[in-house]
Chains A and B, each alone.
Chain A
């Protein structure tokens, strides 16, 4: 063969070889299925929808990138969810369906402590990791379950920030009245304050429980009025927070600080109460003002923008949305760290996880709950939410003390 032909042949061979290996970048692997039972009808519809929004925001982002990368292979993600009609027993049925029929690789939690507790038991029995963001009651994590992880701060931290903040204000408040709904989560929040406040020099002068879901709380407010504490704390949910605030105005209950565990962070609170919502504090898992340096995914301002783009007209995302996204992020990072879709390996990766995202630090203690992320304190000032504590993440100072109702 002539030299030129040999050279041509060599070039051709080289070219063929090069084309054969030009698959630059990851190939596409199997779809990862995530399962979640949600209360899309029934009493927990509103909060479950927020949870779903959080999951979907992450889902869009991860699939736009092609999926989760496991050992160089991209796996697109599919989310399967069903309506459990806000019934914990139906949630259990759906969990089993997701695991057995839909072959979910991993599970995302439902909304609500009762459903989460029931579903955690099933995740444990089937040995499939479940990462949840909406069941903060600690009882779930005291059972020694190995397959359930909660990215949110536990219930007992919800209002501690308010007490910490109060200790820094002057004139320093010295007494607190605690009103609490009688459900699991609310009682944990309230009992924690009952134990914590005296250590900070704030005495508990009233501790009153009421029925979860009560709409008429005038007797409780009356008792708080008689107790005349500097701080009035309510541990309950949105409807009760609104009811107490309304009754406080009507019955002239005044205090230097009004703080509610849940409620003020949602836009519904402000739209329901108008100007009466001002000065109210709440403990929040996350606010749009906190600044963390995320290791991956969006920064908090990009997250807010993404939320507003996908769900226009709803205002800023509230923390239920953010914590649900955080659950997905934890799972994603764990899968990447494990380099595998094997349930046990991912579970171990979750247990060892330590990463900071827009939501805060995600690291699970030995029980499976995230005790490493601090709660922040928000205050509604002139109809707008502001983060007021801790100072490192605050964007405004607390408006303290709260003026009397007559003087507003």
Chain B
């Protein structure tokens, strides 16, 4: 079936409405009284477990959307952005745990410090292109994690060292709900920033850099300033997520806030959803996170893998995840947002076309 403009618009409208309903449900449902929700036994988001899942999803939405700014829009695939998450987490963590600042006062400093670091490191780093930039940013990401954990001053670890930082448990009613809204606010902020960027002169400049940096420079775009600003913006948003995480999780150490696999996950989410778009990374974050949880057996809907013993089940689940990743990367290179945006329809011919475009 050939997709006509009219049917495209129809699909687009359907997905838009579905998305709006989902978002409204997600954001308003927790407001229903927690006790009533629990006793009614409906899996509303008021359930603490779903709140944790939803908060984690929101966290990844922030990270994926933030990455999209430097990776998708500007075309500089940074591979070490988890460093900013960790820096944000440690900034807020240190202020709250060691300097005894109140959390809400310490939080705004997380994006500031992360952005400052990004600008400092970005100036030399952003002179590199393609692979070299990716690898260099990976190197920075790894090195930062190591340094933060291990720096001593006169024999005592500066940043809490290997024992990590313990923040006091945040005293507020409906704590899980509070952090869900806080993280969701950060997610909405990231999406709003992306939306603004894509419609601004700044955004046009970034896209120009992505398409052809030399031409952009010739046309008068201050590529260095734009690139560094983009990197700083991505870092700030990622750092904000880290700052919120530190108080939400109460415990901060290298394993928690500098996990190398987050680098890949946030990129994968952006790619899955569609780089360079406003809602793509968010869609990708939701999908991939739920997929990972589903395969791990965390979600209430479980499935049985035939012929597999209980011991082997978690291992096989990981294998399935890996295979799914491979399949998706091969067949959906432009991201699922294509479908939700109504630009294309999921059909066999689409899959065959993508395959032909990218394979040898």
Which segment, of B223-231, B234-242, B249-257, faces chain A? B249-257
B255 x A82 contact (CB < 8 A): no
CA distance A362 to B110 in the complex (A): 43
- Specify which of B149, B164, B318 is in contact with A139 (CB 8 Å cutoff): B164
Size bin of chain A's contact surface: 20 to 34
A99 x B297 contact (CB < 8 A): no
B169 x A121 contact (CB < 8 A): yes
CA distance A83 to B316 in the complex (A): 12
* Complex interface: chain B residues within 8 A of A85 (CB): 296, 314, 318
CB within 8 Å of B: which A54-99 residues: 82-83, 85, 87-90, 92-94, 96-97, 99
B49 x A101 contact (CB < 8 A): yes
A126 (CB) vs chain B CBs: closest residue: B48
A187 x B256 contact (CB < 8 A): no
- Specify which of B48, B256, B300, B317 is in contact with A96 (CB 8 Å cutoff): B48
- Specify which of A87, A121, A187, A211 is in contact with B161 (CB 8 Å cutoff): A187
- Give A43 Cβ to nearest chain B Cβ, in Å: 10
A114 x B300 contact (CB < 8 A): no
Residue B56 is within 8 A (CB to CB) of chain A in the complex: yes
A211 (CB) vs chain B CBs: closest residue: B146
CA distance A166 to B259 in the complex (A): 41
A184 x B249 contact (CB < 8 A): no
Residue B315 is within 8 A (CB to CB) of chain A in the complex: yes
* Complex interface: chain A residues within 8 A of B49 (CB): 96-97, 99-101
CB within 8 Å of A: which B199-258 residues: 249-251, 253, 255-256
Known contacts being A114-B164, A125-B175, A143-B166, is A83 close to B249, with CB within 8 Å? no
Residue A47 is within 8 A (CB to CB) of chain B in the complex: no
- Give A204 Cβ to nearest chain B Cβ, in Å: 14
* Complex interface: chain B residues within 8 A of A101 (CB): 47, 49, 300
Residue A41 is within 8 A (CB to CB) of chain B in the complex: yes
Known contacts being A117-B166, A118-B251, A184-B162, is A83 close to B48, with CB within 8 Å? no
- Give B322 Cβ to nearest chain A Cβ, in Å: 11
Residue B8 is within 8 A (CB to CB) of chain A in the complex: no
Known contacts being A41-B315, A139-B164, is A93 close to B52, with CB within 8 Å? yes
B312 (CB) vs chain A CBs: closest residue: A40
* Residue of B52, B175, B293 contacting most chain A CB atoms (<10 Å): B52
B251 x A121 contact (CB < 8 A): yes
CA distance A65 to B15 in the complex (A): 56
- Give B82 Cβ to nearest chain A Cβ, in Å: 12
- Specify which of A94, A114, A121, A187 is in contact with B250 (CB 8 Å cutoff): A121
* Complex interface: chain B residues within 8 A of A395 (CB): none
* Complex interface: chain B residues within 8 A of A97 (CB): 49, 298
Residue A336 is within 8 A (CB to CB) of chain B in the complex: no
**What is the 8 Å Cβ interface bit string for chain A, positions 166-192, against chain B (1 contact, 0 not)?**
000000000000000011100110000
Chain B interface secondary structure, helix, strand, loop or mixed? Answer: helix
Residue B344 is within 8 A (CB to CB) of chain A in the complex: no
* Complex interface: chain A residues within 8 A of B166 (CB): 117, 121, 139, 143
B162 x A88 contact (CB < 8 A): no
- Give B75 Cβ to nearest chain A Cβ, in Å: 30
CA distance A143 to B167 in the complex (A): 9
Known contacts being A94-B298, A96-B52, A125-B175, is A89 close to B314, with CB within 8 Å? no
* Complex interface: chain A residues within 8 A of B315 (CB): 40-41
* Complex interface: chain B residues within 8 A of A83 (CB): 296-297, 314, 317
* Complex interface: chain A residues within 8 A of B261 (CB): 87
A99 x B314 contact (CB < 8 A): no
- Give B130 Cβ to nearest chain A Cβ, in Å: 30
- Give B79 Cβ to nearest chain A Cβ, in Å: 19
**What is the 8 Å Cβ interface bit string for chain A, positions 97-132, against chain B (1 contact, 0 not)?**
101110000000000001001100100111000000
B48 x A139 contact (CB < 8 A): no
B249 x A93 contact (CB < 8 A): no
A118 x B300 contact (CB < 8 A): no
CA distance A404 to B287 in the complex (A): 60
Residue A350 is within 8 A (CB to CB) of chain B in the complex: no
CA distance A124 to B161 in the complex (A): 23
B163 x A137 contact (CB < 8 A): yes
- Give A98 Cβ to nearest chain B Cβ, in Å: 9
**What is the 8 Å Cβ interface bit string for chain B, positions 162-199, against chain A (1 contact, 0 not)?**
11101001000001000000000000000000000000
Residue B53 is within 8 A (CB to CB) of chain A in the complex: yes
A87 x B259 contact (CB < 8 A): yes
- Give B143 Cβ to nearest chain A Cβ, in Å: 12
* Complex interface: chain B residues within 8 A of A121 (CB): 166, 169, 249-251
A100 x B253 contact (CB < 8 A): no
- Specify which of A41, A92, A183 is in contact with B162 (CB 8 Å cutoff): A183
* Complex interface: chain A residues within 8 A of B293 (CB): 93
A117 x B298 contact (CB < 8 A): no
CA distance A68 to B294 in the complex (A): 33
* Complex interface: chain A residues within 8 A of B251 (CB): 88, 114, 117-118, 121
* Complex interface: chain B residues within 8 A of A93 (CB): 52-53, 56, 293, 298
A212 (CB) vs chain B CBs: closest residue: B162
**What is the 8 Å Cβ interface bit string for chain B, positions 128-157, against chain A (1 contact, 0 not)?**
000000000000000000100110000000
A84 (CB) vs chain B CBs: closest residue: B296
- Give A118 Cβ to nearest chain B Cβ, in Å: 5
CA distance A187 to B250 in the complex (A): 22
Q: List 13 A-B contacts (CB under 8 A).
A: A82-B297, A82-B314, A87-B259, A99-B49, A100-B47, A100-B49, A101-B49, A114-B164, A114-B251, A114-B255, A125-B169, A126-B48, A183-B162
- A-B pairs, top 9 by smallest CB distance, nearest first, are A83-B314, A139-B163, A121-B250, A100-B49, A184-B162, A114-B255, A40-B314, A96-B52, A117-B251
B residues with a Cβ closer than 8 A to A are 47-49, 52-53, 56, 146, 149-150, 161-164, 166, 169, 175, 249-251, 253, 255-256, 259, 261, 293, 296-298, 300, 314-315, 317-318
A residues with a Cβ closer than 8 A to B are 40-41, 82-83, 85, 87-90, 92-94, 96-97, 99-101, 114, 117-118, 121, 124-126, 137, 139, 143, 182-184, 187-188, 211
Q: Beyond the given A93-B53, A100-B48, A188-B163, could you list 20 further A-B residue pairs with CB under 8 A, ordered by the A residue number?
A: A40-B314, A41-B318, A83-B296, A89-B56, A93-B52, A93-B293, A93-B298, A96-B48, A96-B49, A96-B52, A99-B49, A101-B47, A114-B256, A117-B253, A121-B169, A121-B250, A124-B169, A125-B169, A182-B162, A187-B163
